[in-house]
Structure 1
Amino acid sequence: MGYSKEQLLELQIPFVTYEHPAVTTVDAQAKYVGHLGGALSKNLFLKDKKNRLYLISALADTKVDLKVLSTRLGLGKGGLRMSPEEALQEILQVPLGCVTPFAVINESACHVSLLLDQGFRAQDCCFFHPLSNDMTISLKSQDLDKFLRSIGKESPYVDLEANPPVGKDQPPDLASFVPSGSTVLPDPSETASSNLQSSTNHTFVDNKSPLVAAKVAKTSSNSQKVDIKPSKAVNPSISSFSSGQPLDEIVEKAATLVLSEITKDTINQHGEQLGLVVSDSIRKYLGSELKHLAVIYKNTAYTEGFHAGIHYQPKRS
């Protein structure tokens, strides 16, 4: 279910619609409606470490410090980050650049916690995208409240620039806005990691295999002392493996990824949030690559142990 003019009309909410080319930043939107006297808004779709979701809607010039906001929610300084683009489509059901308070009308967003900038209340009218970034609607904050109440949502207005102390005798002032339930989010890094693991060509050894079981039985049945001497045979695939080379490649690719993410277009598109977008991309990439590397190391250790069992023969004293 999505926003429609009929819903606002049924609620007798006055509003004005402005159509314009699709925009992805507040600055781009301001070129078309900034001169009309309303308050522009910026909207952040965030997640915490437990995949609980938050939609922060603030005045365009409000400074939202995610570390401070995270602390005020009781999540610690690094508890919030930008939600992946896939979550925008699956939870809010909007594409990138279309985040708006109206998106909580969707049933899939029922567990999303909405926080509104208290600065909206002092404005004559406020501008929001109606689930589409090629259109802007203007309405009063109290009418936005009326719309939210009609779908069973609260209108929690908070001072997003405040930085109250948090301590033993001063609990986080926004902790009550933390959602009670988590959401299952799509994780591209997990998918990529599983694909890499399934395509990796390494030998796994079952410690219950007949070969290993026979060696264990033979050793346990012989009570005499034995000396184990290494064979001269060496597995070339193991001896040629360099632990430093994969790490160097990952670092090089990560550096290339950072440079590719920072372009004129992405700076214009994401503005001050570009750092969060880039860090999220790096996190996904490194998560996948390091998991893949861990599998390689694990498989190499298994393989080396397997060959050691074959080539190292016990010699009775």
Structure 2
Amino acid sequence: MGLSKEQLLARLKELQIGFSQYEHPVVLTVEAQAKYVGHLGGGLSKNLFLKDKKNRFYIVSALADTKVDLKVLSIRLGLGKGGLRMAPEEALGELLQVPLGCVTPFSLVNESARHVSLLLDQKFKSQEHCFFHPLSNDTSISLSTHDLDKFLKSIGRDPSYVDLEANPSVGKDQPPDLASLVPSGSTVLPDPPEAAASSKDSIENPVSVSNKSTTSTANATKPSTNAKNTKDKPVNGVHVSKSVTDVGKLVEDLLDKTSALLLSETTEETIKKHGAQLGAAISNSIRSHLRAELESTIMTFKNSAYTEGFHAGVHHHAKRTY
């Protein structure tokens, strides 16, 4: 069980870290938090809990008005354009041991988060003090970056402040500037209850992101043994890739792309520009950006599923006697 808010605050006092504490109703967004502490001055923080394709996890903590482009950040970490995505909700409980809306640098206090990398916005240093939730989003505390660093060093962390809005070139002679911040090892999360129950049916296509995608994948692997054996094997010169016939992976990829686009479109600038029409504006943008890609992806899935079914049928009919 992770530290409680009270235990964390007690530890800060033991470390002689100065902070101010403000109680308020539970908040899930920076905008909601601003209603209670925004008038006090200082910098409000937004915090993203991310993962890469190798199950390595990251917390990106930035000022509320800092624009964080996940595609650019992914390239700077050496992960490629689509290397970062939002971490699954179960990872909040298993690794950070905090509920939704409570991710902050203080989440790293628990031993279970020892392999989670932390990227801090260098703009924090321009603020006299910054606001964070102390493991619970019904409270905000403000402290200086000096005191934040003191806390991080007390748990064995060397604070890394990054210009999150920079977009440096990356190439053969210009290696990724943030590659050193990539965790050294991957993290294996235990299967959710539903996933564990269906693990026998989904051994060939393991998915560890969400209950829904795991169940879908398990159902997708139940066709005949002949159909399974055709995956990733050339049949009559045609190669059927398991990656495009895995329903769970397809759905997860689509959700990742949509989430990344949604995050990139939801900025302070777009909020001011569109006001009450923000939802419609973002919806239209997502439609225009994803339409062609979704059509292509679904057509590939359709064709691959047809090809796999055809070859499964060929193998089945070959056993008939006339």
TM-score between the two structures when normalised by the length of structure 1: 0.68
Larger RCO (CA within 8 A; separation ≥ 6):
1
1:47 counterpart SS class: strand
Structure 1 equivalent of residue 79 of structure 2: 75
1:171 counterpart SS class: coil
- Structure 1 runs of 4+ off > 3 angstroms? 202-206, 270-275, 290-304
Compared with structure 1, are the counterparts of its residues 175 and 191 closer, same or farther at alpha carbon in structure 2 (3 Å cutoff)?
same
State how far apart, in whole Å, the 2-side matches of 1:32 and 1:294 are: 53
C-alpha distance after superposition, 1:162-193 (max 9, x if no partner): 11121222111111111110112442255213
Please report how far the alpha carbon of residue 126 of structure 1 lies from its aligned counterpart in structure 2 after TM superposition: 0.5
Q: How many correspondences in the alignment?
A: 248
1:35 aligns with 2:45: no
Structure 1 equivalent of residue 315 of structure 2: 305
Of 180, 184, 200, 1:180 maps to 184
State how far apart, in whole Å, the 1-side matches of 2:25 and 2:164 are: 30
Q: In structure 2, list runs of 5 or more residues that go unmatched.
A: 190-207, 228-246, 269-278, 288-296
Structure 2 equivalent of residue 152 of structure 1: 156
Q: Which amino acid aligns with 2:101?
A: G
1:109 aligns with 2:113: yes
Compared with structure 1, are the counterparts of its residues 20 and 150 closer, same or farther at alpha carbon in structure 2 (3 Å cutoff)?
same
Please report how far the alpha carbon of residue 149 of structure 1 lies from its aligned counterpart in structure 2 after TM superposition: 0.6
State how far apart, in whole Å, the 1-side matches of 2:109 and 2:303 are: 43
Q: Give 1:88-167 correspondences, 5 Å limit.
A: 88-167=92-171
Q: Percent identity?
A: 60
**Quick check: which has more Rg, 1 or 2?**
1
Structure 2 equivalent of residue 9 of structure 1: 13
State how far apart, in whole Å, the 1-side matches of 2:52 and 2:226 are: 39
Please report how far the alpha carbon of residue 56 of structure 1 lies from its aligned counterpart in structure 2 after TM superposition: 0.5
* Conservation of the 8 A alpha-carbon contact between 2:49 and 2:60: yes
Q: Which amino acid aligns with 1:306?
A: H
2:125 counterpart SS class: helix
1:310 counterpart SS class: coil
Please, what is the CA RMSD of the aligned residues?
3.7
Q: In structure 1, list runs of 5 or more residues that go unmatched.
A: 207-249, 280-286
Of 2, 16, 22, 1:18 maps to 22
2:27 counterpart SS class: coil
State how far apart, in whole Å, the 1-side matches of 2:14 and 2:145 are: 18
TM-score between the two structures when normalised by the length of structure 2: 0.67
